[in-house]
């Protein structure tokens, strides 16, 4: 081989090595969300929030010079598809961690896979009780309904002079059933009588029978544990039947999509969340402006929580001495993440351990009520 050809070969090898090294320096983060199907309004907002945060972090120099690379997958809001997506992200894409999935049903299915693989799974939207009980690799910054719903009821009862309520909930979903359980306990603790408890199933479109019965019992409010796909039509049909009392909703109803899907019937809906668009802190104001300019739509709670989640994870990334061994790096991240404290769009945040297992959010809920096309904070 002549000298010129040798030099070319060496140069090509060095370029290939350089490209390989640059690629290996990426920090691969899985984003498994419902980007299609009935939960897509949540999943799309979550993906956008993560993307915005990752781009900001990378533009500011990344993680000790390395860049975050998102590997985005559509788990369709279905637990079977979520299982397939997680197996791909964990074993094929070999991501460091996953942000997801969107719904509690799917989280209950995939968290054991993440725990068994010793990979951090970080939930930003699922709020059912016990989701993190699987083990020390399971995290979330979404507040549990058990923490939010009692305060939502307390504020709504005081503001709307509520003496008795009807309850309506989805009986075949982990999230909506958990919401019902927590609503039931909170109502009992606060000694609010329940005139009737009605149920529906995922995919139902006609709620007039349940609502007609509720109307006949004349409650002062309707407590609703639903995802927005069913929750918005419930609001519409209730108003069509002349039911004009307040609704008290859970996390599934806390989306700006309610104004579009409920077609003007969303007035007087109380919800609780660690985030509000009306919370004018500097970091929240900056987030809302950046998100709206980037995606041409206002953010919601799910976008804010995923935006914060990416920043929370990034603080832990900075403390990990990456080795290139994915198993070692995943374990190191799981060890660093619990100690992160962060003040983001959703306010001050830290983790709290769930019975020596996984990690839940330690935050203070904000209760808002819909007025016009806005969520307005209630004190």
State the pLDDT at residue 9. Answer: 41
pLDDT band, very low/low/confident/very high, at 191 (cuts 50, 70, 90) = very high
Q: Which residues contact 150 (CB under 8 A, 6 or more apart)?
A: 182, 185, 186, 189, 190
135-159 confidence digits (pLDDT tens): 999 999 999 999 999 999 999 999 9
The share of the chain scoring above pLDDT 90, in percent, equals 87
Q: Residue range 249-274: average pLDDT? A: 92
Q: Which residues contact 264 (CB under 8 A, 6 or more apart)?
A: none
Q: Residue range 263-271: average pLDDT? A: 94
* Same structural domain, 110 and 20: yes
Q: What is the DSSP string of 127-180?
A: --TTGGGG-TTEEE-SPPHHHHHHHHHHHHHHHHT---EEEEEETTSHHHHHHH
| Residue numbers of the domain that contains 17 | 9-143+280-363
State the pLDDT at residue 117. Answer: 98
* Same structural domain, 83 and 162: no
Judge whether residue 341 has pLDDT over 80: yes
* Same structural domain, 225 and 351: no
State the pLDDT at residue 21. Answer: 36
Judge whether residue 199 has pLDDT over 90: yes
The answer to whether residue 372 sits within a structural domain is no
Token pair for 210: 């349940």
* Same structural domain, 302 and 157: no
209-241 confidence digits (pLDDT tens): 999 999 999 999 999 999 999 999 999 999 999
Q: How far apart are the first and last CA of the chain?
A: 80
Q: Residue range 258-278: average pLDDT? A: 93
224, 251, 273 — which closes off a domain? 273
- Token pair 């979903």 is found at 173
* Same structural domain, 19 and 97: yes
Q: How many independent structural domains does the chain possess?
A: 2
Q: What angle do CA 114, 333, 175 make, to 5 degrees?
A: 40
State the pLDDT at residue 71. Answer: 98
* Same structural domain, 354 and 267: no
Buried b (16+ CB within 10 A) or exposed e, 203-230: ebeebeebbeebbeeebbbbbbbbbbbb
* Same structural domain, 151 and 81: no
pLDDT band, very low/low/confident/very high, at 7 (cuts 50, 70, 90) = very low
State the pLDDT at residue 77. Answer: 96
State the pLDDT at residue 228. Answer: 93
243, 273, 303 — which closes off a domain? 273
Q: What integer best gives the mean pLDDT of the chain?
A: 92
The answer to whether residue 370 sits within a structural domain is no
State the pLDDT at residue 356. Answer: 86
State the burial class of residue 191 (Cβ atoms within 10 Å of its Cβ: 0-12, 13-18, 19+): exposed
Judge whether residue 198 has pLDDT over 90: yes
Q: What angle do CA 321, 322, 326 make, to 5 degrees?
A: 140
Give yes or no for a contact between 274 and 363, defined as CB atoms under 8 angstroms apart: yes
CATH number at residue 159: 3.40.50.2300
State the pLDDT at residue 58. Answer: 98
pLDDT band, very low/low/confident/very high, at 250 (cuts 50, 70, 90) = very high
State the pLDDT at residue 347. Answer: 96
Judge whether residue 195 has pLDDT over 90: yes
Low-confidence winner among 17-21, 80-84, 206-210 (lowest mean pLDDT): 17-21
State the pLDDT at residue 17. Answer: 36
The answer to whether residue 70 sits within a structural domain is yes
State the pLDDT at residue 157. Answer: 97
Q: Give the residue ranges of DSSP H helices in 267-324.
A: 282-295, 301-317
* Same structural domain, 257 and 184: yes
The answer to whether residue 117 sits within a structural domain is yes
- For 9, 21, 24, 293, 314, the CA distances from 12, given in Å and listed in that order, are 5, 14, 18, 42, 34
249, 273, 297 — which closes off a domain? 273
The answer to whether residue 118 sits within a structural domain is yes
Strand partners, 122: 99, 139
State the pLDDT at residue 355. Answer: 86
Give yes or no for a contact between 365 and 274, defined as CB atoms under 8 angstroms apart: yes
- Other C-beta atoms closer than 10 Å to the C-beta of 6 total 10
Strand partners, 374: 371
State the pLDDT at residue 251. Answer: 87
pLDDT band, very low/low/confident/very high, at 197 (cuts 50, 70, 90) = very high
* Same structural domain, 165 and 126: no
Q: Residue range 199-217: average pLDDT? A: 97
Phi-psi region of 235 (alpha: psi -120 to 50; beta: other; left: phi over 0): alpha
How far out from the chain centre does Cα 179 lie?
15
Q: Residue range 175-185: average pLDDT? A: 95
Judge whether residue 70 has pLDDT over 90: yes
The answer to whether residue 130 sits within a structural domain is yes
* Same structural domain, 182 and 303: no
* Same structural domain, 99 and 153: no
* Same structural domain, 129 and 154: no
State the pLDDT at residue 13. Answer: 40
The torsion of the CA quartet 222, 228, 230, 232, rounded to 10 degrees, works out to 70
Of 77, 303, 45, 272, the residue nearest 173 (C-alpha):
77
98-125 confidence digits (pLDDT tens): 999 999 999 999 999 999 999 999 999 9
Q: What is the DSSP string of 17-72?
A: HHHHHHHHTSEEEEEEE--SSTTHHHHHHHHHHHHHHHHHHHHTTTBTTBPEEEEE
Judge whether residue 10 has pLDDT over 70: no
The answer to whether residue 378 sits within a structural domain is no
State the pLDDT at residue 22. Answer: 38
């Amino acid at each position: 081989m002549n000298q010129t050809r040798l030099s070319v070969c060496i140069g090509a090898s060095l370029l290939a090595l350089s490209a390989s090294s640059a690629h290996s320096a990426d920090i691969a983060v899985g984003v498994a969300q419902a980007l299609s199907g009935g939960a897509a309004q949540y999943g799309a907002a979550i993906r956008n929030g993560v993307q915005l945060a990752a781009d900001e972090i990378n533009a500011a120099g990344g993680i000790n010079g390395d860049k975050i690379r998102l590997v985005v997958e559509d788990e369709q809001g279905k637990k079977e598809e979520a299982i397939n997506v997680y197996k791909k992200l964990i074993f094929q894409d070999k991501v460091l961690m996953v942000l997801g999935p969107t719904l509690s049903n799917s989280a209950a299915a995939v968290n054991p896979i993440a725990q068994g693989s010793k990979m951090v799974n970080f939930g930003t939207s699922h709020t059912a009780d016990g989701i993190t009980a699987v083990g020390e690799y399971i995290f979330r910054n979404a507040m549990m309904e058990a923490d939010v719903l009692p305060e939502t009821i307390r504020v709504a009862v005081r503001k709307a002079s509520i003496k008795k309520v009807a309850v309506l909930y989805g009986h075949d979903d982990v999230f909506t059933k958990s919401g019902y359980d927590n609503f039931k306990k909170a109502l009992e603790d606060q000694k609010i009588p329940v005139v009737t408890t009605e149920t529906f199933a995922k995919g139902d479109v006609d709620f007039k029978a349940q609502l007609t019965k509720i109307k006949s019992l004349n409650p002062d409010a309707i407590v609703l544990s639903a995802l927005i796909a069913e929750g918005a039509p419930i609001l519409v049909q209730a108003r069509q039947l002349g039911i004009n009392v307040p609704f008290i909703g859970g996390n599934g109803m806390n989306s700006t999509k309610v104004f579009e899907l409920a077609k003007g019937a969303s007035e007087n809906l109380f919800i609780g969340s660690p985030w509000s668009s009306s919370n004018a802190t500097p970091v929240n104001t900056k987030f809302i402006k950046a998100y709206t300019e980037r995606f041409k739509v206002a953010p919601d709670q799910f976008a804010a929580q995923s935006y914060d989640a990416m920043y929370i994870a990034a603080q832990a990334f900075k403390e990990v001495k990456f080795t290139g061994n994915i198993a070692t790096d995943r374990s190191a991240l799981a060890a660093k993440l619990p100690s992160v404290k962060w003040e983001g769009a959703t306010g001050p945040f830290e983790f709290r351990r769930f019975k020596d297992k996984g990690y839940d959010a330690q935050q203070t809920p904000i209760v808002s009520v819909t007025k016009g096309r806005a969520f307005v904070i209630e004190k």
